[in-house]
Chains A and B, each alone.
Chain A
């Protein structure tokens, strides 16, 4: 196992030399002119790229997308947002970039119990505390590319269905576990894939964004495991199980409509290495229970909808 890993690492470091920017982070920060948090985002970006990697200017990139084509191909993308508005993330998404890691300065400050200022001037103390919290970020991306489980999750999934009005709701027959937030975990061995049920897909309508969590994130049961946005609403994928994110569905980032077309198989969002499935499963429904739970829920919703 450790040998395999070493081999992979050498393989990676040899690849590293060939890509521009030395294979370090490509950083797209907030432009940092509105609040202190933004200014800190900018300073952090400068710090991270000091030893290599590339910096993307959000203003120039916004005006001229082809300007950074080469840099963006040079490594995993790190987006640093200043505040909740998340301009840098939005820009990345609008341009269809794959975000490998995201930092949000305001959230980081909040965790440290610091309140950011209104003026766009970075407080040096805050900056150094933020920078010291970044330790490990350098190495992190090298460990990012964990293979999605070979050989798992390949068997065909049988579905059963019920009809309400003209809507057909489908639920797998076995192998899946659900929480009452209509999210599923398909469990095989020590791995689980997560997604949302056919019901979510139908009520939220056409999906247009999937924002995955970072690979490596530890997720507790009922934590957010990525978020979705449809033409009607936005929602979190609320994890039915706990574990560590080992892979995300890249195909889904490109084509969120896979959730509408095939919510239980090709529409998977995240793969976890399970932490405590036995404990988690006490709080979950198996396929049969979810089927009757969902049928009740849909009946109630239609009654409510028509005031009965």
Chain B
């Protein structure tokens, strides 16, 4: 089995509640659901071109989670020289669960928290599938 790490990287999305939801789902995956395989990484390090961070991204598996269609997470990962193995937008989950809209940036509210639960479980399952598929 591959010993590569999985870096789940959300957008920093300072102005959007959906980005807050993406970040919270990331924490749920890397800290609670799959802590032994997954880590996160500051997206800002990729924007500044930090060598160590860009290297980590290139040598491992990357999941990009974006809070809007500007796709900052995916694009910054790509700028570091890596195509993410998995890239999702929070809106893709919302399209299926539109009753679960995150409310505000600082507090995503009840619906937002449910969305985080849905997202993180689906993400974990998807990452597991990817790891089992081998590489």
Contacts and interface: CB of A to CB of B under 8 A. Distances in A.
Interface of A: 94, 96, 205-209, 229, 231-232, 256-257, 260-261
A208 B17 contact: no
B101 A206 contact: no
Given A209-B98, A231-B17, 5 more contacts: A206-B18, A208-B91, A231-B91, A231-B101, A232-B101
29 contacts: A94-B96, A96-B95, A205-B16, A205-B68, A206-B16, A206-B18, A206-B68, A206-B69, A206-B91, A207-B91, A208-B91, A208-B94, A208-B95, A208-B98, A209-B95, A209-B98, A229-B98, A231-B16, A231-B17, A231-B18, A231-B91, A231-B101, A231-B102, A232-B101, A256-B95, A257-B69, A260-B68, A260-B69, A261-B69
Given A206-B18, A206-B68, A257-B69, A231 B96 contact: no
A205 B95 CA distance: 14
Contacts of A94: 96
A251 B121 CA distance: 29
Interface string B81-113: 000000001010011101001100000000000
A120 B44 CA distance: 58
A231 B69 contact: no
A117 B35 CA distance: 55
Contacts of B95: 96, 208-209, 256
A265 to B, nearest CB: 15
Contacts of B91: 206-208, 231, 257
Listed residue (B18, B68, B69, B94) with the most chain A CB atoms within 10 angstroms of its CB? B69
Interface string B60-78: 0000000011000000000
Contacts of A207: 91
A257 B91 CA distance: 9
B68 to A, nearest CB: 5
B1 to A, nearest CB: 30
Contacts of A257: 69, 89, 91
Contacts of B17: 231
Nearest to A255: B69
A208 B18 CA distance: 12
Contacts of A209: 95, 98
B75 to A, nearest CB: 13
A104 to B, nearest CB: 19
A144 B75 CA distance: 39
Contacts of B18: 206, 231
B21 to A, nearest CB: 10
Contacts of B89: 257
